[in-house]
Amino acid sequence: MTDIAVWFESVTKSFGTVRAVNGLDLRIRVGETVALLGANGAGKSTTVNLLLGLFPPDGGRVRVLDSAPRQAVAQGRIGAMLQEGGLMPGVTVQALLGFARERYPDPLPLAEVLDQTGLTEVADRYVDRLSGGQTQRLRFALAIVGDPELLVLDEPTAAMDVESRRAFWVNMRAYAAKGRTVLFATHYLDEADENADRIVVVAEGGVVADGTPAEIKSAAGGRSVRFTVDGSGAGDLHLLPGVTSVEVRGRTATLHTADAERTVRALFASRDRVRDIEVTGADLEDAVLALTS
């Protein structure tokens, strides 16, 4: 028995000519809550699907809870909330959770799951009559009903409003606090920051950064300098001292810099006038942009 819950070793997976996962190395310890963070197409869902044994890797090895993924899933040791997949219509919330419970060797009590996921009030409602947020809660309930050792969530809060989202993370953290391992994929950088012990940033199918939220922010380092581009254009901005990347949207330029003071001084020296200048500390979004650009 090891204390590694999830182990990817040099894993690759291609779809036709697209290499969705490219030499991925990742180890997650038992009890960790890890966010997989990356842009569209970075390889998050493919990683999750490999972890669940939905298809085999082309190369490398995936181990979950000391087993092959399919075996761990078959034993009911992994709970998953995926992006798609319909719920059986024509049954009530309670009945569906009841069926699901029977598939597991040691499920949680039904009342506890309903209570924990805020579904008690709609227990008798047909699943096709639920709101979007309630449907997501039911998906979460189905993921935890078997009391799995590992919980895998692929963009779990998509389609939830602010209040449902907040409530969802409270529930997720309560589950993680029982010593369970959680891996969730997200686009929401603030959610990764607030709800994970560790953030793994993926781009083009590989890990580009891995650390605590604080470490990720400081690894990307630096600050952002934002201003309105005037007649001088934006062509030479990447040459300014300290600048690590340049983004221009409309008339607003954002410079990511490792040395804001030198960048700002050189910026003022290089043009007659600099309008609407704003210097901010790198937030997680800037950090991820800097790491993946």
Site residues for ligand ATP per CB under 6 A: 15, 18, 20, 38, 40-46, 187
Of 186, 178, 6, nearest to 78 by C-alpha is: 6
| Cβ distance to ligand ATP smaller for residue 45 or 135 | 45
- Pick the closer one to ligand ATP by CB: 42 or 199: 42
186 CB-near residues (< 8 Å, 6+ apart): 35, 36, 37, 155, 156, 157, 192
* 90 Cβ contact partners less than 8 Å away, ≥ 6 residues apart: 126, 128
CA trace torsion 92, 94, 98, 100 (10° rounding): 70
The CA distance from 252 to 277, in Å, is 10
Give the nearest distance from C-beta 125 to ligand ATP in angstroms.
Answer: 29
Beta bridge partners of 181: 150
**Residue 16 vs 90, nearer CB to ligand ATP:** 16
Residue number with CB closer to ligand ATP (2 or 293): 293
Q: Which one, 24 or 114, has the nearer CB to ligand ATP? A: 24
Q: Which of 132, 131, 130, 176 is nearest to 153 (CA)?
A: 176
Nearest-approach distance from CB 211 to ligand ATP, in angstroms: 19
CB 50 to ligand ATP: min, Å: 9
| Min dist. Cβ of residue 45 to ligand ATP (A) | 3
In the beta sheet, which residues pair with residue 13?
21
**Residue 151 CB, nearest approach to ligand ATP (Å):** 18
Least distance (Å) between residue 123 CB and ligand ATP:
31
CB closer to ligand ATP, 203 vs 253: 203
Indicate the helix (H) or strand (E) that contains 228. Answer: strand 223-228
Nearer to ligand ATP, 38 or 213 (CB): 38
The two structure tokens encoding residue 167: 């409530």
Least separation in angstroms between CB 155 and ligand ATP:
7
How does strand 4-15 pair with strand 18-29? antiparallel
Provide, rounded to whole angstroms, the least separation between the CB of residue 222 and ligand ATP. Answer: 25
Please identify, using beta-carbon distances, which residue of 18 and 159 lies nearer to ligand ATP. 18
